[in-house]
Chains A and B, each alone.
Chain A
Amino acid sequence: MSDEANKGLNSPLRRKLLMGMAALPAITMLPRTSFAQAPATSVVNTTGLAVTDTEVTVGILHSVTGTMAISETGSVEAEKLAIEQINASGGVLGRKIKFIQEDGASDWPTFAEKAKKLLVNDKCAAVMGCWTSASRKAVLPVFEQYNGMLYYPTFYEGLEQSKNVIYTGQEATQQIIAGLDWVNKTKGAKTFYLLGSDYIWPRTSNKIARKHIEGHLQGAKVVGEEYFPLGHTQFNSVINKIKLTKPDVIYAIIVGGSNVAFYKQLKAAGIDLSKQTLLTISVTEDEIDGIGGENIAGAFACMKYFQSLDNPNNKAFVSAFKKMWGEKTVIGDVTQAAYLGPWLWKLTVEKAGSFDIDKVAAASPGVEFKGAPEGYVRIHENHHLWSKTRVGKAKADGQYELVYETADLVEPDPFPKGYQ
């Protein structure tokens, strides 16, 4: 981590270490550990979580097999990196993080079952996990029933808020509105063609996009909106429709294998993305790897993070990530959001002075992380993050070039009024 990042981490840490001095008798009981000033376990853990004098257990719950492994691998890698870095910098309340990894296997009931195992059997103090909304919806009742803490990394459709979840990705309005405003202002875009895969996230997002286009952008309108079954691989017909309607902007929220097919066929059909504006919220650097940079160069993506962001936190993060997972790995928006999970949890625990779930949940609002690769972030009362919205332009080498970022942090608004 950079110096700036350490400053951010040190101040609450130091405060807690001083508090820990009050528990001096505990120190003598700690064998062979470098974390000598840790506060006593009986103080920081009153609810029977898996916290010992030297260790605290957290869970990692993602799909490493099945269809979703494509997307979730990056999140697992980021979380492991964060945990390693936290351990190297002194752990959490003087305790080393030990993680137990479970495989959701791209199957939602399995997610629920593994979540229960992590909370009930392993007594994990926090769980970093889930990717799709379907998996999050499946584990949510488990986390609420057994009172666990979930750090969820993916940008998603919003319309949810829970005491037991911290959403480290963007909810829909944070990802959509600033991007549409930008494309309207700088490109003079008036007509939009909305596309998406057929499930809750693209549909909810496009609903918000349509409301914003029709209600807030002067003279703008939606000239087409359609959805394709997940796994759809033939887009020639819709591409012809796009050619016929000639929209100023193609607004695409297509996911998975369909994504690759769509951009390859768009290029093959002679649609030149340097002339036709395309704005997407579903293609990160991870996806470009599969699509091929040459097929998507010129498209715009609206995210909160790009691997190419030029700031010291991000440079340190990217080089640490590549050192751990290989020179060729790329880092997308969600991977960065997953990296925030363990850090935010650590900062929250140290603010609360306790691992207890209720105290962590209560302490969450207002927790700041200055060392985030995306820049300063803060947890909102609604358990989502204040963060900036950015627009990047895809380049042939598979990276995004930052073309716009909001001046201020954008407030998370999971239940946007007038957009539902």
Chain B
Amino acid sequence: MFGDYSLGDLGAIFAMQGFAGLILFSVYVLMALGLAIIFGQMGVINMAHGEFMILGAYVTWMTSNAVQQFAPWLFPGYFFIAMTLAFIASGALGMLVEWAMIRHLYKRPLDTLLATWGLSLILQQAYRSVFGAREVGVELPEWMMGSWQATDSIQIPINGMFVMALTILITIAVAYVLFWSSWGKQVRAVVQNRVMAGAVGINTEKVDRYTFGLGCGIAGVAGSAFTMIGSTGPTAGQLYIVDTFLVVVFGGAASLFGTIASAFSISQTQSTLEFFLSGSMAKVITLLTIVAILMVRPQGLFALKVRK
């Protein structure tokens, strides 16, 4: 396959391919993070995760339109406003859903699966009714499009680097919140022993609500960022849900670092195989490998935390 190419060409391709792998890694981490928080900390399987992402995408689209119409001078930086709004919108919807639905189902973890699946269908149809069945195109400011010319033959996508930077920031922020802030301590206390946590004065209901809200909010930011690389339509959330679950389940539900490690291994396998084989074959082999590993190491799988 490489016989006809010069060393320089090959070097450039491998450098770009390395970046492709890293970008895929960032995308996986970003889309799985929100789910991992909700699943890992609360044991709730949120099937509507993709729809929370798409809410973020639609918020970005609306922000883009509003800014273009009312404050065109703001357009180059609108994406940061959009991501903030996406976080707030998805987070608020998440808290509402937790209050209205999820909290009644904590004792029946498998029912949450069904309930959130229903929620995802309801949200899809709601998007379709409100925004129309067709996909919408989100316009990006000029500086976020195109690629960065590292050398003559190496081009790195700017939106990929943007997603990478965003992922690193959010991961650090989430790690900080969970492991070093006092609210994070409360969250972990509730996860370990709900009754005791309540007894020492932690408002466990509030902790649940904010945890769910945080997870959904991060999904919203992810959805907002993915308008740069993917489509925005009523059912676009479904494109991400399978990969998201794969990353979270493979990583072992309880740990944030498990999620990151799993995103890294899946993305590297996938992008390397895609390069040497074809797209569909790469997917098949990646999935088979994951299945095989999960058979040998089931602790990577669903350490389903059931609240008793």
Residues of A participating in the B interface, judged by any CB pair closer than 8 Å: 64-67, 69-70, 73-74, 198, 225-229, 231-234, 236-241, 243-244, 256-261, 264-265, 267-270, 286-295
Contact = CB atoms under 8 A, between A and B. Distances in A.
A67 B235 CA distance: 6
A240 B230 CA distance: 18
A259 B13 CA distance: 24
Given A268-B157, A268-B158, A233 B135 contact: no
A267 B136 contact: no
A73 B133 contact: yes
A74 B158 CA distance: 34
B240 A233 contact: yes
Interface in B203-233: 226, 228-233
Nearest to B232: A290
B132 to A, nearest CB: 8
B184 to A, nearest CB: 32
A261 B229 contact: yes
A65 B135 contact: no
Contacts of A269: 16, 147, 155, 157
Nearest to A196: B279
Contacts of A236: 19-20, 23-24, 157, 160, 271
B280 interface: yes
The bracket for how many chain B residues form the interface is 35 or more
B231 A260 contact: yes
B146 interface: yes
A272 B231 CA distance: 20
Contacts of B160: 236, 268
A238 B279 contact: yes
B56 to A, nearest CB: 15
B234 A69 contact: yes
A261 B139 contact: no
Interface string B15-33: 0110110011001000000
A233 B139 contact: no
A289 B61 CA distance: 13
Interface string B91-111: 000000000000000000000
A294 B229 contact: no
Q: Which 10 A-B pairs have the closest CB atoms?
A: A290-B135, A260-B231, A270-B155, A236-B20, A270-B147, A268-B157, A228-B279, A226-B278, A237-B274, A69-B133
Given A233-B240, A268-B157, 19 more contacts: A69-B128, A69-B133, A69-B234, A70-B134, A227-B280, A232-B279, A233-B229, A234-B270, A236-B20, A236-B24, A240-B17, A257-B230, A257-B231, A261-B230, A264-B230, A268-B228, A270-B155, A290-B135, A290-B232
Contact of A289 (B13, B135, B280, B283): B135
Nearest to B13: A244
Contacts of B133: 64, 69-70, 73
Contact of A268 (B27, B132, B134, B145): B145
A168 to B, nearest CB: 21
A289 B136 contact: yes
Interface string B115-151: 0000000000100100011111111000001110100
A67 B238 contact: yes
Nearest to B5: A244
B275 A70 contact: no
Contact of B239 (A233, A239, A286): A233
A237 B17 contact: yes
**Consensus secondary structure, chain A interface:** helix
22 contacts: A64-B133, A65-B128, A67-B235, A69-B128, A70-B133, A70-B235, A226-B280, A234-B229, A237-B20, A237-B282, A240-B13, A240-B16, A240-B17, A240-B20, A265-B157, A268-B145, A268-B147, A268-B228, A268-B229, A270-B147, A287-B135, A295-B145
B128 to A, nearest CB: 6
A198 B137 contact: no
Nearest to B15: A240
Contacts of B202: none
B275 A240 contact: yes
A67 B135 CA distance: 11
A154 to B, nearest CB: 16
A304 B84 CA distance: 44
Contact of B230 (A73, A233, A244): A233
A289 B158 CA distance: 22
Contacts of A294: 139, 145
A296 to B, nearest CB: 10
Contacts of A257: 135, 230-231, 233, 235-236, 239
Contacts of A295: 145
Contacts of A234: 24, 27, 229, 270-271
Nearest to B278: A226
B159 interface: yes
Contact of B134 (A226, A240, A241, A286): A286
Contacts of A198: 279-280
Contacts of B5: 244
- Report which residue of B23, B133, B146, B226 has the largest number of chain A beta carbons within 10 angstroms of its beta carbon: B133
A237 B275 contact: yes
- Report which residue of A66, A227, A260, A268 has the largest number of chain B beta carbons within 10 angstroms of its beta carbon: A268
B20 A289 contact: no
Nearest to A72: B133
A74 B133 CA distance: 10
- Report which residue of A69, A256, A288 has the largest number of chain B beta carbons within 10 angstroms of its beta carbon: A69
A289 B271 contact: no
A229 B286 CA distance: 13
A390 B136 CA distance: 26
B222 to A, nearest CB: 12
Contacts of A288: 137
Contacts of A289: 134-137
A286 B132 CA distance: 13
Nearest to B160: A268
- Report which residue of A241, A257, A294 has the largest number of chain B beta carbons within 10 angstroms of its beta carbon: A257
B261 to A, nearest CB: 19
Given A65-B128, A69-B133, A267 B13 contact: no
Contacts of B159: 264, 268
Given A198-B280, A236-B160, A237-B17, A268 B146 contact: yes
A70 B124 CA distance: 12
